[in-house]
Structure 1
Amino acid sequence: MACDHGRTDGSRLPWNTGGLYGGWGGHAFHGTEPGSERTPVVFVHGNQRDACDWAPHAEFFLQRSYLGDELWAVSFRDGSPSHPEMATTLEDFVHRVCEHAGADSVSLVAHSLGVTGVRWWMSEYDRYEMVDSFVGLAGANHGTVLTKWADEAGMRDGTYKMSTFLRADYDRIEGHPLARLNEDETPGDVDYYTIRGTDDPLFWGCHDSPVLEGATNLVLETDHDGVRTERRALEHCYEWVADEHPYDLQNQVGLPDADEETAD
C-alpha cells in the first residue's frame, strides 16, 4: 500500500526519533485509552517497504481489544537497510516502545528482509530476554540463490545492499555472518514462528530458506507478499502473539462472512 508519510517521519510516534527512522504506534495515534495489558507487538517491514504495510494488522488487532500502546511499526530510514542499520534502529525503537508501554518485552512480526534484520538485532545486542514471540514471514533465513547471483555480479548497493549477507552458499564462506547467526537458529526463551509461501519467487531453488530449526514452521499456498497480507496469515500472526484464537466471542469478534473470506 502507498504511504503518505516519509520514511523518517516521526509524527506518528510519541517520542522524537531525531530523523533516524519513522513509524507509528501508541494510544494517541490509534485513538485508544493509554496503557498496556498485553505484550506490545512491533511490526518490521521488508525491502523497500515501510510501516504502512502493517495498517491492516493494527486494525485487526484493535478489533480484538488490543490497545494503542500495544501496537507499533517501524520504518527504516533506508528502504533497503543493511543488517547493522536495522539492528541499530531496532535497538532504539524496541527500548522506546518498552519505556512508553511500561513493558519488559515485546513480540515482533517481521516480513522479508526484516526477518533477518530482527534476528541480527537479537543476536548482536543479545536481546533475547526482551522478546516474547517472533514471527518471521518469508524471511531469507538461509539466504537465496538470487542474492548470491547478485553478489557475484557486484550488485551490492541500493536494493541489493543485503546481497552479500543473504547468499545461499553462506555456509561455505569462512566467517560469514549468516553462518554465525544460524549456529543456533532459535536461541533464547523466545517462541519462534515462520510462514513461507509456496509461490514465492524470491526462494527459487531454496524453498526452505525461511524455515528455522526449532520453530513452528507453516507453509501457505500464496506468494511473497501473501504471507503478510492474506487473512489466514494475519490470523496465524494474531494467534501466535496474542496466544488466543482470533475469533473469540469474549472480544465480540466472530468468524468472517463467507463472502469476506472469498475476497481475501
Structure 2
Amino acid sequence: MHTRRHLLLTGMAASLLAACSTMSTSSERPPIVFMHGNGDSAALWQTTIWRFESNGWPRDRLFALDQPLPLARDTDTVAQPGRTSTAESMAFLQAEVDRVLKATGASKVILLGNSRGGNTIRNYVQNGDGAGKVSHVVLGGNPAHGIWAVKGFNEQSEFSGLSSFVQQLNAPKGTNGDEITPGVRWLTLRSDSNDKYAQPDGVWIGTPGKPTNIGYDSPALKGATNVVLPRADHRETSFSPAAFAATWQFLTGSAPATTTATPEARIVLDGRLTGFGLSSTDPASGQFTNNLALSGAQLAVYAVDPATGARLGGAVHRKTVAADGRWGPFTAQPGTPYEFEIAAPGYATTHIYRSPFPRSSNIVNLRPDRILPADSDAKAIVIFTRPRGYFDAERDAMRFDGQSALPGVPPKGSGMSSSKIKLASDTQRAITGEFNGERVTGLTWPATQGHMALLELTY
C-alpha cells in the first residue's frame, strides 16, 4: 500500500484544508450530490444537509440520492437478486448527476460519499464521464483499499482489496503514483482506529483473530487531502459535526459558522416509505434492505409527550403511500416529538419515535420492520437505533430502558448501530433511549398483536 499523508483535524489541518480550496465563498454555491453507503438511504445525510443549510448553502442545491437497490453483490461479477454491481451503481450515479446538472444549469457538481458510496463515486469519476462534471469529492469511511485483502476469501467482492475492481481504482495515475483521478480535488475522512471496516483484525467480518491485511488508513488515498477524525466510527466519518467541519473547510477555505442545525420557525417534513426485500432461499429470516417504495402502506403521525411517549390526541397526518413512496408533506410543530405508525401487509405494525425536528427535510425516510422467528417468544419488542453512527460503550454516554449496557452492543469497539430489548410483558409502558444528550421516549406495543416499537436517534 502506498504511503499516504494524513492530517489530524487540528488548527494546522484546518489551515492546510483552507489552502487546498479554490471555491469562491460567494452565495453562488454549486450543487452537492450525496451518495449513501451499502444498504443505506438518502436519510443518513439529513443532519449533514441541515448543517449545510444552516451555513447558507441553498436548500435547492443539495441533492441526497436513494439508490433503489443499495446493497453490493457478494461477488461483483456474479448477478444476485436485489443487489447491484459496481457498474450498475456507477450508472445510477451517472444518471443522477446528469439530472442535477440539467435541473440546476451548473457545469459541475460536488460529490460527497459515505462508505460504498465512495466506491461508486471513484468509479464514476475514473471510469465514467465524471472527471469533467465534478469539481470536488469528499469520501467518508470509504473502503478505498478494501475491508479485507485475504487470498481465497471472496477475492472478487467489491470490498476485497484483491479484487480487480479495487486494484484498477488504485492503479497509479501519473509519475507520482497518485491513486486519485487528476483534475478533481479530493478529500478523504477516516477514523484513527475506530472504523469497523478499517481494522487489521477480522472481528467485524466474521473472522476474529485473523488478519485482514488492511490497515486503519485503508480509506486514505495517495494524492488526496487525507484527514483523520479521532475516535470517529465508520458512519461518523461522514455524518458527524467534525466530518461536516472538515468538509466545509475543504470546500470553502474557511471554518463553518456552526456545526449545529439552526432551528426553523416552519418545519415541513417528507420522505419515502420503503421496505425490505426477502431472500429467495430463506424468506422467513433472510431479509435485505432496499429503497423501493412500499406502495399501499398506511402511515399515521402522532404528536407525543416527550416524557412518556403517550399520544397527545389523534393523528395529525395520515397517508396511504403511492407508487412514488412519498409519505408527506407534513407540517411539524417546532419542539414536538412524533410517533410514526406504519401498517403494511407482511410487516409488523411499526411505531417509530423520533426526537423533535429542528428544520425541514424531504429525506425523512421510514421503514417498517418484521418480527423475526427468533423473536417470536417476546411479548414486546423495542429497538433503539442510531442510523448516523454506532454505539461505543467506551466512548458514549448511553442508556436503554435504564440499562447502561445496551443489549447486543459489545463492551469495546464501534460496531453496532442498534440494540434490541425483548420484554416478557405486553403491558404498555414508556421506554426511553438516551445517547450523548439526545433522548427518545416511546411506548411498548404488544408483539403478540403484531406490533413493535423503534426509538430512532437523529444525531
* Alignment pair present for 1:218 and 2:227: yes
Q: Which residue of 1 aligns with 2:247?
A: 237
The CA distance in 1 between the partners of 2:59 and 2:250, in whole Å, is 19
Note closer, same or farther for the CA distance 1:143–1:103 as it changes in structure 2 (3 Å cut).
Answer: same
Contact kept in structure 2, 1:129 and 1:188, CA below 8 Å: no
1:181 pairs with 169, 178, 192, which one?
169
2:138 pairs with 115, 135, 138, which one?
135
Q: Which has the larger radius of gyration?
A: 2
The CA distance in 2 between the partners of 1:142 and 1:218, in whole Å, is 16
Contact kept in structure 1, 2:154 and 2:160, CA below 8 Å: yes
Q: Which residue of 1 aligns with 2:237?
A: 227
Q: Deviations over 1:48-71 (max 9, x none)?
A: 110011011111111111112210
Q: Deviations over 1:185-227 (max 9, x none)?
A: 1122111000111211211222221110010101112111121
1:196 pairs with 174, 190, 195, which one?
190
Note closer, same or farther for the CA distance 1:132–1:150 as it changes in structure 2 (3 Å cut).
Answer: same
* Alignment pair present for 1:123 and 2:126: yes
Displacement of 1:83:
1.1
Contact kept in structure 2, 1:148 and 1:164, CA below 8 Å: no
Contact kept in structure 1, 2:34 and 2:65, CA below 8 Å: yes
The CA distance in 2 between the partners of 1:227 and 1:126, in whole Å, is 27
Structure 2 matches for 1:29-108, cutoff 5 A?
37-80=28-71, 81-108=84-111
Q: Which residue of 2 aligns with 1:158?
A: none
Displacement of 1:150:
5.5
Q: Which residue of 1 aligns with 2:157?
A: 164
Q: State how many pairs are aligned.
A: 202
Code of the aligned partner of 2:198: F
Contact kept in structure 2, 1:147 and 1:166, CA below 8 Å: no
Code of the aligned partner of 1:98: L
Displacement of 1:149:
7.0
Report which of the two has the higher share of helix. 1
The CA distance in 2 between the partners of 1:140 and 1:149, in whole Å, is 19
TM-score (norm 2): 0.42
Matched residue SS, 2:254: coil
The CA distance in 2 between the partners of 1:147 and 1:234, in whole Å, is 33
Contact kept in structure 1, 2:94 and 2:124, CA below 8 Å: yes
Note closer, same or farther for the CA distance 1:48–1:146 as it changes in structure 2 (3 Å cut).
Answer: farther
The CA distance in 2 between the partners of 1:241 and 1:66, in whole Å, is 12
Q: Deviations over 1:46-97 (max 9, x none)?
A: 0111001101111111111111221011111112132111111111100111
The CA distance in 1 between the partners of 2:150 and 2:117, in whole Å, is 15
The CA distance in 1 between the partners of 2:38 and 2:52, in whole Å, is 24
**Alignment RMSD (CA, Å):** 2.2
The CA distance in 1 between the partners of 2:63 and 2:53, in whole Å, is 12
| Unaligned runs of at least 5 residues, structure 2 | 1-26, 72-83, 174-178, 201-213, 263-435, 438-458
The CA distance in 2 between the partners of 1:46 and 1:94, in whole Å, is 17
Code of the aligned partner of 1:194: T
Q: Which residue of 1 aligns with 2:147?
A: 144
Matched residue SS, 1:214: coil
The CA distance in 2 between the partners of 1:148 and 1:230, in whole Å, is 35
The 4+ residue runs of structure 1 with deviation greater than 4 A are 146-150
The CA distance in 2 between the partners of 1:62 and 1:201, in whole Å, is 30
Note closer, same or farther for the CA distance 1:212–1:219 as it changes in structure 2 (3 Å cut).
Answer: same
The CA distance in 2 between the partners of 1:241 and 1:75, in whole Å, is 24
The CA distance in 1 between the partners of 2:246 and 2:183, in whole Å, is 20
The CA distance in 2 between the partners of 1:146 and 1:236, in whole Å, is 29
